[in-house]
Chain A
Amino acid sequence: MPRTDAASRAKRLYERFLAPLVLGGELSPGPALGAEAALSLDGGLATVDGDLRSQVDVARVRVARRLVPVDVVAGPDAHEWALGAALHDLVHALHPDLQGPLHSRVPDRLFDLCEQVWGRVPPPGSLAEAVSRHAFFARVFEIERTDTVVSWWTGSKRFLGRAPPPRLLAWPALRRVHTDEATLPLSEIADVLDARRRARFHYGLARLLEKTPLTDLATCTRVAPRFEWTGATLGLFATPHSRALALRALGLGPAAEVDAALGRATRPHAAAGATENLRRIGDVLAERALAVALSDLPPSPQDRSATGDAHYARVLGAALALARVDLLGASPARARRVTGRLMPLAQSRLGRELATAIEAWGPPAAPVGVGAVVT
């Protein structure tokens, strides 16, 4: 591919898709880029308007500072260009015009091209990379489309993701023009696809989230694709620093929904007896339970609004956290208060059942440190 062609594609991708993805505004995907172009866009930042780059950099730092106090987030590297281009093609595949008989194979072809990109981009090799990728794709599930239905006295017409032409809105009183607008989230936009393609689309998003695990954790309450523990997300809890960032990313969402997502994602591992994974997951849940018990919020052991999955995650976390109270180094009175908060969950019926299962897992994972969420 000629160098000038790559530069113009990078400029278009950045200005029409990646920058709005960070700053907000209108995303205009299309035309498709393809895998070859996606993997060759590195260095395309030089063609982008400097003012826009500055705005994007500031917005990315703002996203990153929700997790870690940094002042600079590096610009897109080759992998981020590739991920951004693949996401562009993935979203472009949702175009309603591509679902007709004329272009019936295009969505599948785009999914194939995206898959080629996913396979060539490794997971983040460092925390800085993880933060940088999250700073780009943190808002991916906030993409929405406004559909407008314009009806008039002789008919009506639907405009998907486009503004209706002014001629249709002219003389509203005389022609009895009525306009209905509906905003669809990304999960509903994908309904334009048939079931098989919709599954491929969600699979593509899941592959993207594998490449940016902080985004995966920060958006764990999403509708689709549902959160699942992956090697990338579990790997984040292996070291103290990444563990702190990962726990803060989990803390960005509503606590009850995050607990529900974690509980739902943990059950398959418990059913399969994946003890190594369970030890690592249990470490995360125990840390969250301790953070709640240590907080000054009033205790709410009878949270009747919690779903079964959330209750499962909390009970499992409380049962594991009880053994760690002594490691807190807190005063006896504070330790008694923390224990008092954890005990009702740990001694519930589910808690007693899980205690038996926990014994079968073997020795718990060495706690990396308590209070990472708070600090």
Chain B
Amino acid sequence: MLARIALHQTRLETPGLGLDAKGVALGAKGLVLVPTLDRLVGWLSIYARDRSLEDLLPSLELHRVRTPLGTQEITLTFAAESSDRMDRVADTARLVGAYTFTGTSRHFVQYRDAAAPFGYDATELLPTEASLALYHDRFSQTYDEQRPLDLRALLLRLQPQVDPGSLAEPGPRVIVAEEGLGPALIHYLVRSRVDGEVTVAEWPPASVLDDAPVLRYVFRVPDLPPRMRGLVRATPGLTCFLPTGPGVAVEIGYRHPVQLRACPVFDAAGLALIRGRGDEPWTLPRLPGFGDLRSFARVELLTGDPGPLTVATASRDPDLVRVPMRLVPTSAAWRNVTASWVAEDRLPLLRRLAYSLAPRTLDETRIALTDRGAFLTSPEGIEAIPLGTFFIEAHPGLFTPAGLDIVPAVAPEVLKRTLSAPADHALFVSHTGAALAVPNEAFVPLGTALIEAKAWEPAVTVAIESALAEAPLSLTLTAVGLFPLAGAAPAPGAPPPEDGNAAD
């Protein structure tokens, strides 16, 4: 029933089947017959791994089909367009055990494979009223279309797989907080100076017993500090999501089986939040407007009658109001402890400690050696080296002692500006109030600073030409003396000199 198409064959029996420029039999559509849903997911996962589905989506249709015997399978049809596209689709289908066909309306023949480089033609068509007739070298089968499948709904129904690797992935986060936790999280983020946006979204009641919609706070945080990642993941009532494409995010700790970035089926104006543990996804067809986090910071009003507004009548030299900076102990929790100062007498201890430091600590920590001791910085936190005085990075390039607050409580940027430190210097304010500026270029990786290089000596290389070169023969003359022939006797038996005198 199925015949291989020969080279230069032009006449084809299957209606709607033609030859493209390469001579490959191609209809207007391509069709992939998938026996089960998990193989369809496998096809989507493999195909979307290296390329986007964007070019297929406009013509992509998923249907559940049924054979006359009642077996159900899934078809995936799309515009064939070219044999290159069909080759990619067929390669992926072969990988998951699916079959690839091509045709135009009802009759689809097997797409080309290694046995038939130019494809196949059905020499005898099935007389059927079914919506699909597929011709394969192993079978010929008719199918009736049952119902279409929605790809977006299918992707949302797929359970994400556990993936601890996504916990450390950098990038923006979407945090959903239950109604009661939202304000506390807002203030925590504001207090921690974390930039972000927040909105309140409504979901339908969870059960018929509830009559009010469910309110949740949705946060968009472009750069969540690493120290907070564990908090937002482990706190009940908070769910953290990692955006995986326009309009879709997957819960942290899980990975969707299909590369969602390659499946642009989600509306960028809405939001689909795919949750793990088998929970239903949260979807928002339209995102409400977001507001800056700082707009939600707690505000307090002065109590009592503020009275008439006092207006300054004159300004004076600010020097007159300047007060010395002081450091006072504080009970606030330490945060952003990213630097430490190790006094000179403790440096031997640091050297001993170096043998037990983890490679990551050695790699991330930078050290500057000064006449006042060593300054260590690590953007991920300096607690891994439990030595010296800890400093908090109050402002980029400005470090204040941990556990101490600076009074007057001016803004850190104001403090740095007041101290007039150069931009390429890190400023350390000690517990006595003295400030020390360390050039940024003085900081080197701790690993390179710790290793004590072994003494070495250069090996002298000798060029082969010079080794084989011959020194010139230089005739050097010395004084001949008064009797140059003294001791120069003739050979035995030789006649004596004419003057009979050997010596001149």
Evaluate contact between B489 and A103: CB separation under 8 angstroms. Answer: no
Collect the chain B residues with CB atoms within 8 Å of residue A1's CB. Answer: 489
- With known contacts A98-B484, A106-B484, A27–B473 Cβ distance under 8 A: yes
Cβ < 8 Å to B, chain A residues 1-60? 1, 5, 20-21, 23-39, 59
Evaluate contact between A109 and B472: CB separation under 8 angstroms. Answer: no
Evaluate contact between B474 and A34: CB separation under 8 angstroms. Answer: no
B475 touches A (CB below 8 Å)? yes
Evaluate contact between A161 and B475: CB separation under 8 angstroms. Answer: yes
Evaluate contact between A21 and B480: CB separation under 8 angstroms. Answer: no
Collect the chain B residues with CB atoms within 8 Å of residue A259's CB. Answer: none
Collect the chain B residues with CB atoms within 8 Å of residue A105's CB. Answer: 499, 504
| Secondary structure type dominating chain A contacts | helix
Interface string of A90-109 (1 = CB under 8 A from B): 01001111100001011001
Evaluate contact between A36 and B491: CB separation under 8 angstroms. Answer: yes
- With known contacts A109-B497, A109-B504, A144–B479 Cβ distance under 8 A: no
Collect the chain A residues with CB atoms within 8 Å of residue B470's CB. Answer: 23-24, 59, 139
Collect the chain B residues with CB atoms within 8 Å of residue A144's CB. Answer: 472-475
Evaluate contact between A25 and B471: CB separation under 8 angstroms. Answer: yes
Closest chain B residue to A94, Cβ basis: B475
B304 touches A (CB below 8 Å)? no
Cβ < 8 Å to A, chain B residues 473-504? 473-481, 484-492, 494, 497, 499, 502, 504
Contact-residue size bin, chain A (C-beta under 8 Å from the other chain)? 35 or more
Evaluate contact between B473 and A117: CB separation under 8 angstroms. Answer: no
Return A256 CB to nearest CB of chain B, in Å: 23
Report which of B475, B477, B490 forms a contact with A34, defined as CB distance below 8 A: B490
Q: State the CA gap A189–B474 with chains docked (Å).
A: 12
Collect the chain A residues with CB atoms within 8 Å of residue B484's CB. Answer: 30-32, 95, 97-98, 103, 106
Residue of B475, B477, B488, B494 most packed against chain A (CB within 10 A): B475
- With known contacts A34-B487, A109-B485, A24–B492 Cβ distance under 8 A: no
Q: State the CA gap A117–B489 with chains docked (Å).
A: 12
Report which of B474, B480, B485, B502 forms a contact with A27, defined as CB distance below 8 A: B474
Evaluate contact between A95 and B477: CB separation under 8 angstroms. Answer: yes
Evaluate contact between A98 and B480: CB separation under 8 angstroms. Answer: yes
Collect the chain A residues with CB atoms within 8 Å of residue B487's CB. Answer: 5, 31-34, 37
Evaluate contact between A35 and B477: CB separation under 8 angstroms. Answer: no
Evaluate contact between B473 and A24: CB separation under 8 angstroms. Answer: yes
A321 touches B (CB below 8 Å)? no
A257 touches B (CB below 8 Å)? no
Return B466 CB to nearest CB of chain A, in Å: 13
Closest chain A residue to B481, Cβ basis: A31
Report which of A23, A34, A39, A145 forms a contact with B488, defined as CB distance below 8 A: A34
Collect the chain B residues with CB atoms within 8 Å of residue A103's CB. Answer: 480, 484, 504
A113 touches B (CB below 8 Å)? yes
- With known contacts A97-B480, A103-B504, A106-B485, A27–B475 Cβ distance under 8 A: yes
Closest chain B residue to A184, Cβ basis: B475
What number of A-B contacts does a CB cutoff of 8 Å give?
A: 123
Q: State the CA gap A106–B485 with chains docked (Å).
A: 7
Evaluate contact between A35 and B491: CB separation under 8 angstroms. Answer: yes
Interface residues contributed by chain B, number (CB under 8 Å)? 27
Return A110 CB to nearest CB of chain B, in Å: 7
Evaluate contact between B488 and A161: CB separation under 8 angstroms. Answer: no
- With known contacts A32-B484, A103-B480, A105-B504, A37–B489 Cβ distance under 8 A: yes
Evaluate contact between A117 and B504: CB separation under 8 angstroms. Answer: no
- With known contacts A30-B478, A98-B480, A105-B499, A35–B473 Cβ distance under 8 A: no
Collect the chain A residues with CB atoms within 8 Å of residue B481's CB. Answer: 31
Collect the chain B residues with CB atoms within 8 Å of residue A20's CB. Answer: 473
Q: State the CA gap A1–B474 with chains docked (Å).
A: 31
Q: State the CA gap A91–B485 with chains docked (Å).
A: 14
A116 touches B (CB below 8 Å)? yes
Collect the chain B residues with CB atoms within 8 Å of residue A161's CB. Answer: 475-477
Q: State the CA gap A96–B476 with chains docked (Å).
A: 12
Return A82 CB to nearest CB of chain B, in Å: 9
A112 touches B (CB below 8 Å)? yes
Evaluate contact between A34 and B485: CB separation under 8 angstroms. Answer: yes
Interface string of A127-153 (1 = CB under 8 A from B): 000000000000100111110000000
Q: State the CA gap A20–B488 with chains docked (Å).
A: 22
Return B476 CB to nearest CB of chain A, in Å: 4
A160 touches B (CB below 8 Å)? yes
Return A8 CB to nearest CB of chain B, in Å: 11
A120 touches B (CB below 8 Å)? yes
Report which of A97, A113, A145 forms a contact with B475, defined as CB distance below 8 A: A145
A162 touches B (CB below 8 Å)? yes
Closest chain A residue to B492, Cβ basis: A36
Collect the chain A residues with CB atoms within 8 Å of residue B492's CB. Answer: 36, 39
Closest chain A residue to B474, Cβ basis: A26
Q: State the CA gap A99–B315 with chains docked (Å).
A: 109
Closest chain A residue to B488, Cβ basis: A34
Evaluate contact between A96 and B477: CB separation under 8 angstroms. Answer: yes
Return A10 CB to nearest CB of chain B, in Å: 14
Report which of A62, A106, A109, A160 forms a contact with B477, defined as CB distance below 8 A: A160
Collect the chain B residues with CB atoms within 8 Å of residue A59's CB. Answer: 470
Closest chain A residue to B479, Cβ basis: A97
Evaluate contact between A35 and B490: CB separation under 8 angstroms. Answer: yes
Collect the chain A residues with CB atoms within 8 Å of residue B499's CB. Answer: 105
Return B464 CB to nearest CB of chain A, in Å: 13
Collect the chain A residues with CB atoms within 8 Å of residue B474's CB. Answer: 25-27, 144-146
Evaluate contact between B494 and A116: CB separation under 8 angstroms. Answer: yes
Q: State the CA gap A34–B472 with chains docked (Å).
A: 27
Q: State the CA gap A175–B173 with chains docked (Å).
A: 87
Return A122 CB to nearest CB of chain B, in Å: 15
Q: State the CA gap A38–B502 with chains docked (Å).
A: 15
Report which of B468, B476, B480 forms a contact with A31, defined as CB distance below 8 A: B480
A89 touches B (CB below 8 Å)? yes
Evaluate contact between B477 and A120: CB separation under 8 angstroms. Answer: no
Evaluate contact between B488 and A116: CB separation under 8 angstroms. Answer: no
Report which of B472, B489, B497, B504 forms a contact with A142, defined as CB distance below 8 A: B472
Q: State the CA gap A63–B251 with chains docked (Å).
A: 83
Closest chain B residue to A145, Cβ basis: B475
Evaluate contact between A32 and B476: CB separation under 8 angstroms. Answer: no
Evaluate contact between A21 and B486: CB separation under 8 angstroms. Answer: no
Collect the chain B residues with CB atoms within 8 Å of residue A106's CB. Answer: 484-485, 504
Closest chain A residue to B494, Cβ basis: A116
Report which of B471, B476, B497 forms a contact with A23, defined as CB distance below 8 A: B471
Closest chain B residue to A59, Cβ basis: B470
Interface string of B32-57 (1 = CB under 8 A from A): 00000000000000000000000000
Return B469 CB to nearest CB of chain A, in Å: 9
Q: State the CA gap A91–B475 with chains docked (Å).
A: 9
Collect the chain B residues with CB atoms within 8 Å of residue A113's CB. Answer: 488, 490-491
Collect the chain B residues with CB atoms within 8 Å of residue A98's CB. Answer: 480, 484
Collect the chain B residues with CB atoms within 8 Å of residue A31's CB. Answer: 480-481, 484, 486-488
Q: Beyond A95-B484, A110-B488: 17 further Cβ-contacts under 8 Å? A: A20-B473, A27-B475, A31-B481, A33-B487, A34-B487, A36-B491, A37-B488, A91-B475, A95-B477, A103-B480, A103-B504, A112-B497, A117-B491, A139-B470, A145-B474, A146-B474, A161-B477
Chain B residues close to A by CB (< 8 Å): 468, 470-481, 484-492, 494, 497, 499, 502, 504
- 16 A-B pairs, CB-CB below 8 angstroms? A5-B487, A26-B474, A27-B476, A28-B476, A33-B487, A35-B489, A36-B489, A39-B492, A62-B468, A96-B477, A97-B479, A103-B484, A109-B488, A113-B488, A116-B490, A146-B474
Nearest first, the 3 A-B pairs at minimum CB distance are: A24-B471, A34-B488, A161-B477
